[in-house]
Structure 1
Amino acid sequence: MAFNIERATAEIELDARPFKQRVGLVALATDHVSEPELSTLFSGHDLAMYVNRMAYANPVTAASLQALAPDLTEAATRILPGEELDALIFGCTAGTVAVGEPKVITSVAAAKPSATIITPVGAIAAGLSAMKIRRVSVLTACDEETSLPIAKYFEQMGWGIDLLTCVGLTDDAEMARIAQSSIIVHAKRALHPASEALLICGSALRAALIVEEIEQSIGVPTLSSNSAIAWNVLRLCGDTSRVGGRLMQYELLKKPEANVKYADEFCSRDGE
């Protein structure tokens, strides 16, 4: 069937960007949770998230996570090549600690030098600093070998660790299947009486969308990897939303040049 083809002649107006803010996410190939949770948390904001996935295979071990290091820059480079990002997330909590947060930041920043680099542990640390919290309990889905370095990260940064609770899994597909009702049960048991907050460390755990429910259940602020990332990104992008848990009532204390926060830098002894 013949039809006419015409070249449009009306002038086209181009916006500076399709969306006001651009955020990149480097996720593991096996990650079921961080992309959909963050997409949900960013919904309704003038912000677009662009994702690239790194090759990875279970089990989750220190060695398998450390092996991510050589591919970090390339993975970040493949997110909107040649385009600037406002923020760039590396979405693996245990991987950040296993590789070393400074190495992660340096590697992904090499691909996107103008972007603010956000890691799960860095985002949690920034949140704890903003809330002036000093003592925490930590809950992870991983085994002891993978979980202990996460707790030590926060201890070395200046926070007191009252209790580390590990579910003991080594397959992040299984971690992602942990029912949210089970996460709430584990959160109750993982909180030490002396702790001011509970950290749910692991991008594979579906905790970010139930943070408020957990807080109501245990009575203290709860920061999950993905909820802290979302807060950090939104604040960096100038968003002042207050919905989504106690952390969302706070502002970033300063724009991080690199996401390394020390507790005593922001939490004065006299509570100022």
Structure 2
Amino acid sequence: MTSYSLPTQVIFDQGRHPHAKIGFVLLATEQTIEDDMRLLLPDEVGCHFTRAPIPDSITVETLTDLGSSLGDAARLILPDGSLDVISYACTSGSLVLGEEQVYAELSKGAPKAQKTCIIASVIKALRAVEAKKIVVVTPYLDSINQMEDDYLQASGFEVLDIQGMQLEKDSDMIRVSPQFIVDYAQRFDSPDADAVFISCGALRSIEVIDQLEQALGKPVITSNQATAWDTMRMAGVMHQLLGYGQLLAQH
């Protein structure tokens, strides 16, 4: 005997993430950002990740070559168009390409979502804490540091100093100890700086933001902290969080 389902009216709700859905395009080599976003964003916000191909070598050349793959990567996140915000979650990659090119590429894969990238999120965060003079510490090679210096200066900040650890491999950047990040930032901080920016989503810097702010007596902005804050605010989520610096606690 053949059995048929009886007609019924299916009941829907808003799903698991009613507040917002945020997408992140990561480097293929990335090992820190997913954990940080799941930690910093509230449960009601969906975190969705995809990756763009790159070798374990973070240089101006490899980051430039990756640019054309951002659209294909973005296309893999929620093709139903329900994504609220999408971010290219790479600090060095977004400043090498520039925001305009990043958004053009992301639009190919996620045309309805609002676009951002880490360097844009950092600039918004620095302005939110009213920083004008900054010190920047990074894991990068000097070729990328120079581009970051130029980018931040062009965005209206006075970069008093920028110091890089001269690391090329993402697989090395993710292993830099949080205590070394503290020591490195304290070593190069300037009393004239309004804030310290710890650049790179691969660094485990969110773990030491509060410690550094207490030691330095000024705001500390990190790539992943700024990204979580900016993407939430763009999605209309005003969640505030203690333990990860003034930015997430007060802005």
| Same fold at TM > 0.5 | yes
Alignment of 1:98-247 (within 5 A): 98-243=96-241, 244-247=244-247
Contact 1:135 1:159 in 2 (8 A): yes
Aligned amino acid, residue 31 of structure 1: E
Q: Which residue of 2 aligns with 1:270?
A: none
Aligned amino acid, residue 182 of structure 1: F
Q: Which residue of 1 aligns with 2:29?
A: 30
Distance 2:233 2:17 in 1: 17
Q: Which residue of 1 aligns with 2:39?
A: 40
Contact 1:68 1:99 in 2 (8 A): no
Note the alpha carbon deviations across 1:67-99, whole angstroms, 9 max, x for none.
011111111011112322111011111111112
Note the alpha carbon deviations across 1:148-184, whole angstroms, 9 max, x for none.
1112111011100001011110001110001111111
Supply the RMSD in Å over aligned alpha carbons: 1.8
Q: Which residue of 2 aligns with 1:268?
A: none
Distance 1:64 1:13 in 2: 48
Contact 2:135 2:188 in 1 (8 A): yes
Distance 1:113 1:27 in 2: 18
Distance 2:153 2:99 in 1: 15
**Which secondary structure state, in structure 2, belongs to the residue aligned with residue 38 of structure 1?**
helix
**Which secondary structure state, in structure 2, belongs to the residue aligned with residue 158 of structure 1?**
coil
Measured after TM superposition, the shift of residue 110 of structure 1 is 2.7
Q: Which residue of 2 aligns with 1:80?
A: 78
Measured after TM superposition, the shift of residue 38 of structure 1 is 1.0
* TM-score, scaled relative to structure 1: 0.85
* % identical equivalent positions: 24
Distance 1:73 1:232 in 2: 21
- Unpaired runs of 5+ residues, structure 2, are none
Contact 2:33 2:201 in 1 (8 A): yes
- Unpaired runs of 5+ residues, structure 1, are 252-272
Distance 1:51 1:248 in 2: 22
Which 10-residue stretch deviates more, 76-85 or 7-16?
Answer: 7-16
Contact 2:32 2:202 in 1 (8 A): yes
Contact 1:77 1:111 in 2 (8 A): yes
**Which secondary structure state, in structure 2, belongs to the residue aligned with residue 94 of structure 1?**
helix
Distance 1:163 1:84 in 2: 42
Contact 1:187 1:218 in 2 (8 A): no
Contact 1:124 1:228 in 2 (8 A): yes
Distance 2:56 2:163 in 1: 21
Note the alpha carbon deviations across 1:40-76, whole angstroms, 9 max, x for none.
111x331011111111102211001000111111110
Contact 2:81 2:113 in 1 (8 A): no
Note the alpha carbon deviations across 1:103-130, whole angstroms, 9 max, x for none.
0011102322221212111011111122
**Which secondary structure state, in structure 2, belongs to the residue aligned with residue 203 of structure 1?**
coil
Q: Which residue of 1 aligns with 2:13?
A: 15
Measured after TM superposition, the shift of residue 6 of structure 1 is 9.1
Q: Which residue of 1 aligns with 2:51?
A: 53
Aligned amino acid, residue 248 of structure 1: L
Aligned amino acid, residue 232 of structure 2: L
**Residues 179/123 of structure 1: CA separation in 2 closer, same or farther (3 Å cut):** same
Contact 2:56 2:169 in 1 (8 A): yes
Task: Report how many residues are paired.
Answer: 246
Which 10-residue stretch deviates more, 124-133 or 165-174?
Answer: 124-133
